[in-house]
Each structure stands twice: as C-alpha cells, then as structure tokens.
Structure 1
Amino acid sequence: MTHTIEDFHLEPLKEGKFIHPHLARYRQDGEAKSWEVLEAGDSVAILIWHREHGRFVLVRQFRPAVYLHNKEGMTIELCAGLLDKEGYSPEAVAAEEVEEECGFRVRPEALEKITSFYTSVGFAGSRQTLYYVEVEESMRIGPGGGVPGEEQIEVLELSPEEARRLMEDEGVARTPGLLYALCWWFARRSEA
C-alpha cells in the first residue's frame, strides 16, 4: 500500500478528540517544576497468530507523528485500539479490534494477557495491555482494514523468520509493543 502525502503541516491544537495537551506544574523535593504532558487514553494491542498459515497477522498504516520523523509515516504494528468505549472490558475492545482491523471474530475469553506497560512515559504515560490470540480461516468474517473514517489499515502476514528480521530492521517503523510481543512469543516457543 503506497500513499501520496501532500501539504503536510502542523497547527496548534487547543483541544483534541483523543489527546489533551497540558502544562503540568508541581513541586518535587521543594523545587517548582513544570512539564508538557499529553493526557491520552489507555489502549490494547493484540499479537495474532494464524495457526493454519503459521504466520503472524499484523497491520501496516500511516501515522502522521511518525511522518514527522521519517517522511514516510508507515508503521508495522500489532492490531490495537483505544479503551474509549464505556462499559467494554479491555478484552471486549481487543476482540472488536481484531474483527475490525484484521477480519477475524474471536471471543474475548480466548485472549491471553501477555502484560501491561506504560507508553510514551516522557509526555503521555498511557497504559497499554498486550494480548495474544490464535486464529484460523473458519474465524474469518471479512477482509479487515478498519472501519470507515479510520486511517487505512493494511493487513499483513509475516512468517516467524520475517518477524525476526523485522525486529532487527531499524529502517522500518515498528512499535515497542510489537517488539515486546514478538520477543514474548519467541521466548515462549523456545521454552516449549
């Protein structure tokens, strides 16, 4: 998937839909300090293993913040989503994201929690929970790709060998959650 990006520029943001910029003022050990922070929502991310294909199911999409740094903006990531739906458990959100982004229907109780951690701790400090789930073709309900209005999402399948190469390829924008989840998966396989 190739995108043509034109007229990219930044504008001041007073109030955002998903993030809220603030100046935090506080005292630390008696000294007055301040720090720029973004109030952002917590999220889930899911490492998907396709049992029949013996491949990871990942997503590739354009991220404007990454574009600022590499003038390409395309990332390879885990399927993921914000915890922004009231009354939904993290597992229910994760299952919904697997369906929307990758086209597989999974039961929330089929998700295995890997861990939770804080992301972008220097300015946002959002919490992300990683899950693992296995799928097969009988669970496919559509092509994936996200919902209307979202960034275009391309569904990728990578073999374990391709995933290992991706982990070391600094020329590809990939997320810490993806790297951690793949390390977890490979460590788990070596222990079996």
Structure 2
Amino acid sequence: MTDVHKKFEEKTIRTEPIFTGKIISLQVDHVELPNGEVATREIVKHPGAVAVLALLDDKMIVVEQYRKPLEKSQVEIPAGKLDAGEDPLHAALRELEEETGYKSDQIRHISSFYTSPGFADELLHLYVVENLVKGEARPDEDEFLECEAITLEEAQQYIREQRISDAKTIMAVYAWQLYKLTGSI
C-alpha cells in the first residue's frame, strides 16, 4: 500500500543553495518527478513561526506595522518567528508580550499550518490566549508597532478594507467568530 504522505513524491537529485539570510534561505532543488522527468523547485526554508489570537473581554489585540513587501501598513495579530529549538507555545507567549505588553497564563493551540507550501516550508502555530494582564511592550529594535483592541465587527471591516489581509490574521478572525458562535475553537 502507498504511503499517503509520499504519494506523487518528487525525489531530490541535487540542491543548489542560492541565499542564506537572517530569517530565510533560498535553494533550488532538482527533482525527479513520479513519471521519471526532471524539474526544478525554488524553495524558501523558514524556521517556523507563531501567531496569537489574544482576546481581551470582547476584543482582539492587534498590532499595526508597515510591511515592506506590500509597501503598506497592515493590521495583524501578534506573531513572530521561532528561535532555534524554541517551543512554539513559549514563543507565542514571548511574541505576545514583546509586541503588545500583554501576558497570559491561559493559552491553547488552535492549529498549525503551512503558510505557502508551493514554495516555502514555513509552519505557523496559531494559539488563542485569554485572561490577559497588561504589561509593557518590548518590540525588537527594528519593529515599529501600534497596538489596539478591536471588536469582531471592526476586524471584519478591516478585512473588507484590506487593512487585514494576511492569512494568519484572517484565520484568527474566523476562529474567533466560530468561538463566539459555538463556545469552542
């Protein structure tokens, strides 16, 4: 019987490293396709990331920051990359505090998903936190953020206006909507 995870497997023949940066690396893999033909795949390697749906009373904590690839500011849930060997749950709490100042002792995993499996291996871990306690934000030295608390209706309006347009935040808004309707995520 065929392993469902290996169905249509593309066997790597050769890997060419192209770029290694602070956050990502890029490589070109030459692969053998299931039909025996050879193709190339451009692959972005990423250490993984976390994101946090932080709920305060009837609002969601978000940060607004400029996103250079988009050439505009975006409203997003707190998020960041994993450090080498870092536990995603601890990273989620770390990113929440760094970006917003909020802390919590109530955290639950919602889902882990690949952000763009057609060209990247980034796995993002999404958490929900409640029982927030306000502290002081400590963003990275190259991060310029503004934190706010928005309602579900405001979040949906931001999606329509494309002020929220990244997948992790849209997924978090839909998870929050489900939570409000059913009491569970």
TM-score (norm 2): 0.82
In 2, the alpha carbon distance for the partners of 1:146 and 1:36 equals 32
Q: CA deviation at 1:85?
A: 4.0
Q: Give the one of 76, 92, 96 matched to 2:94.
A: 96
Summarize the alignment of residues 1-192 of structure 1 with structure 2, pairs less than 5 Å apart: 14-29=19-34, 30-51=36-57, 54-67=58-71, 73-86=72-85, 88-107=86-105, 110-136=106-132, 139-142=133-136, 144=137, 146-148=139-141, 150-170=142-162, 172-192=163-183
Contact 1:145 1:153 in 2 (8 A): no
Q: CA deviation at 1:60?
A: 1.1
**Number of paired residues?**
165
Note closer, same or farther for the CA distance 1:147–1:130 as it changes in structure 2 (3 Å cut). Answer: same
Q: CA deviation at 1:120?
A: 1.8
In 1, the alpha carbon distance for the partners of 2:165 and 2:138 equals 18
1:159-179 alpha-carbon deviations (Å, 9 max, x no partner): 121012123223x25211111
Specify which structure has the higher proportion of strand: 2
Note closer, same or farther for the CA distance 1:182–1:120 as it changes in structure 2 (3 Å cut). Answer: same
Q: Which runs of 5+ in 1 are unaligned?
A: 1-12, 68-72
| Structure ranking higher on relative contact order (CA contacts 8 Å, 6+ apart) | 1
Q: Say which SS state the counterpart of residue 14 (structure 1) adopts.
A: strand
In 1, the alpha carbon distance for the partners of 2:43 and 2:140 equals 29
% identical aligned pairs: 27
Contact 1:104 1:135 in 2 (8 A): no
In 2, the alpha carbon distance for the partners of 1:135 and 1:168 equals 29
Contact 2:47 2:84 in 1 (8 A): no
Larger Rg: 2
Note closer, same or farther for the CA distance 1:85–1:22 as it changes in structure 2 (3 Å cut). Answer: closer
Q: CA deviation at 1:146?
A: 1.0
1:49-73 alpha-carbon deviations (Å, 9 max, x no partner): 112xx21101111122112xxxxx2
In 2, the alpha carbon distance for the partners of 1:145 and 1:75 equals 19
Residue 10 of structure 1 is matched in structure 2 by none
Contact 1:74 1:173 in 2 (8 A): no
TM-score (norm 1): 0.79
Q: Which runs of 5+ in 2 are unaligned?
A: 1-17
The residue type paired with residue 135 of structure 2 is: I
Contact 1:46 1:80 in 2 (8 A): yes
